[in-house]
Structure 1
Amino acid sequence: MTARTDEVETLLTPAEVAALFRVDPKTVTRWAKAGKLSSIRTLGGHRRYREAEVRSLLAGVLPQQRSADA
């Protein structure tokens, strides 16, 4: 089995996301709970966020609406 480095996605901590948006890390957690930002849980239960999604949100690109919103 060969590891593919081109498909590895970079994950950010709540503090890193908060620094990009200039908000408190708890605000980032609230966004994730509200569904505005998707998160991944580590084995220890900590939230991590996909850098690509965070960067697109920061650039003003709205994520696709979830099927529950329709």
Structure 2
Amino acid sequence: MSTIASIASDGTFAISANDRLLTSGEVAGMFRVDPKTVVRWAKAGRLGFIRTPGGQRRYREGEIRALLREPGDPGV
């Protein structure tokens, strides 16, 4: 188990030892949308993300699963 320390898109600093990081494609599969939709949600601030050293977005699994449990459309 590794510890992940990062700055989220909203500027907050987070450390998590258990939260797996997901790709846009993995998140898209969970919501049954296109990966570009996930990127648009992230750019609009609807999904928190971190950037890898290579500049790619990653999403915290715990946050995504919490959104999936909420009633209603997560993209609205």
Give me the TM-score of the superposition, normalised by structure 2. 0.70
Matching residue within 47, 50, 62 for 1:40: 50
> Where do 4+ consecutive residues of structure 1 move more than 3 Å?
none
Q: Post-superposition shift, 1:7?
A: 1.8
Q: What is the distance in 2 between the residues matched to 1:23 and 1:50?
A: 18
The alignment covers a number of residue pairs equal to 58
Please give the per-residue CA displacement for 1:13-38, whole angstroms capped at 9, x wherever unaligned: 00000000000000000000111100
Bigger CA radius of gyration:
1
Deviations 1:1-59 (A, max 9, x none): xx66x824200000000000000000000000111100100000000000000000011
In angstroms, what is the RMSD of aligned CA positions? 1.8
Unpaired segments ≥5 residues, structure 2: 4-15, 72-76
Q: Could you say which residue in structure 2 is the equivalent of 1:19?
A: 29
Q: Which has the higher strand share?
A: 2
Q: Are 1:52 and 2:62 counterparts?
A: yes
Q: Which structure 1 segments of 5+ residues have no match?
A: 62-70
Identity %: 60
User: 2:12 is matched with which residue?
Assistant: none
Hey, which of these two has a bigger chunk of helix by percent? 1
